A and B are shown apart, each in its own frame.
Chain A
Amino acid sequence: MTGAAAAVRREAVAGSPKISFAGVEKTYATRGGANGGTLALDRFDLDIAPAEVLSIVGPTGCGKSTALNILAGFEPPSSGGVRVDGRVVTAPGPDRGVVFQQAALFPWLTALDNVVLGVKCRGEARELYEPKALRLLEEVGLKGFERHYPYQLSGGMQQRVQIARALVNEPDILLMDEPFGALDYQTRLLMQKLLLRLWEHFRPTILFVTHDVGEAIFISDRVIAMTRRPGRVKCELRVTSPKPRDYDFLSSTEFKALERELVLAVQSEVDDYA
């Protein structure tokens, strides 16, 4: 799909949400199957607008990754459903690019081959996909590393490859499950700025799952804090400062106030369990 076609499609659904969680519940079977299992998500409702950047924060095990996995199509909901452009999600697909926390690059492929595997397998011509992939790798800052294998790249560089791999399919939606969680603080800040720059260029709708409250505020238009299990939306904050943002935003009054509010919201959910 070309960028123009994507823009047209986005315009067609303007006003209606891009992504809509409606009454999503997820129960995991427990060992032995007694007591009806563990309720991970409980009547989870959430609408995300086109090109919005939305982060979900919450304590470990609150079901934030479960929500992302259901939207990605990796797991089916126990009840309720997720719609993308009004259509119910039933399976994973390249329209929703996923960036995983752990090393999900294929170690037997170079950075470039990792990026192009999907388009190549769909039968696209090499003359079309290769220049596009090389441009993307350059854009995420990996010029000169195209032929490197994942084990020859640092953690931050591997995540850059993952982002390029998701973007090469020109997805409307980018799903990111704690993508920078394993990186050191400086690298994480760098990656957050990179993400904002890429968002400006491609304008995808982003669902970003993290436990880092500051990270969520820095990149998002809206941040959702979840309750502990069974996960539900506890509170919702809007970040009004315009994107893209720079590091000075981290010391702004708005950032500090939002951070304080979110930290308290999340921390009140973990206190009893720590």
Chain B
Amino acid sequence: MSDAKVNPPSQPPSGERRREAPDVVYSVLAVATLLALWVVASRPGMFRPGYVPTPESLGTTFLELLRDGYQGQPLRQHIQISLFRTLTGFLLGVLVGVPVGLLTGYSRRAGAMISPIMAFIRPIPPIAFIPMTVLYFGLGEVGKIVLIFFVSFNYVQANAQAGAANFPIAYRRAAQSIGLTKAQTFFRIILPGALPQIFTGLKVALALSWAVVVAAELVGAQSGLGFMISDAALLFRLPVVFIGIVLIGAIGLVLNLTLNFAEAKIVHWKGR
């Protein structure tokens, strides 16, 4: 044995040299596996006929829905009405919830008044209020929008309040020492300072608004994606139910991505 071999240069373990597969490969594999399981499950003889629609039947039903609509209304209209109810209620909740939350976070007294009330209301599942809104506002649009507004307000207000209350004292002192008035401090320091937390609230509120609109449409609605899936289930039109669910999921995802995009643009300093 020669001396050179006594202390061989260290070599990285072979595993480190192999290039790791990117994460997206694993994501694609998982989705493909799920789809494959579905194809197998939908084959005749696996379950009772009609219980698991085949991919082809979903495709043809989707084309039918696009062409003929559902129960006399175009598919586009069902989507639009669900989005209209959600976004109207959500935006109203934001318009009221952000100022109220900032105020209750900024002013100790305002916080003391509203906090116990909100602390009691917040844990109540929003769908528990559906019968009440039907009773007070009927089956029309108002009841649904009021319900969504209520859901949105709850989460937007809570997060805006937390954002304004857990404010670094150095910001407040810096604002005072450069001579800002109370109003200037509120609009130029407290509001932007609370934006990261406000966005957290917006994301929860929008996701819940979308969930609750579907729930509200299951009960006594004549349009919307929630109505479509509950009505189709009663008529045992399972492909329609499946398509409705996929649409609800896809639209929820788009709503969430839109807010994420807006957040990255507006709150560019978050987490940096």
Point out residues on A near B: beta carbons under 8 Å: 72-74, 91-94, 96-98, 100, 102-108, 117-118, 121-122, 149-151, 165-166, 169
Contact = CB atoms under 8 A, between A and B. Distances in A.
8 contacts: A72-B173, A73-B177, A97-B177, A102-B168, A103-B170, A104-B171, A107-B269, A118-B178
B272 interface: yes
A121 B173 contact: no
A151 B272 contact: yes
B168 to A, nearest CB: 8
B184 interface: yes
Interface residues of B, number: 21
A116 to B, nearest CB: 10
Interface of B: 168, 170-171, 173-174, 176-181, 184, 188-189, 192-193, 195, 267-269, 272
Contacts of B267: 108
A102 B170 CA distance: 8
Contact of A98 (B173, B193, B272): B173
A91 B269 CA distance: 31
Given A121-B180, A121-B184, A169-B178, A104 B193 contact: no
A92 B171 contact: no
A118 B173 contact: no
B113 to A, nearest CB: 24
Contact of A92 (B176, B184, B189, B269): B176
A84 to B, nearest CB: 13
B176 A73 contact: yes
Contacts of B272: 107, 151
Contacts of B176: 73-74, 91-92
Contacts of B192: 106, 108
Q: What are the nearest 8 A-B pairs in CB distance?
A: A118-B178, A107-B269, A151-B272, A92-B176, A104-B170, A94-B179, A98-B177, A104-B174
A165 B267 CA distance: 23
Given A107-B269, A108-B195, A93 B179 contact: yes
A103 B171 CA distance: 9
B177 A108 contact: no
A117 B188 contact: yes
Contact of B269 (A93, A121, A151): A151
B188 A94 contact: no
Contact of B178 (A74, A91, A94, A102): A94
A107 B192 CA distance: 9
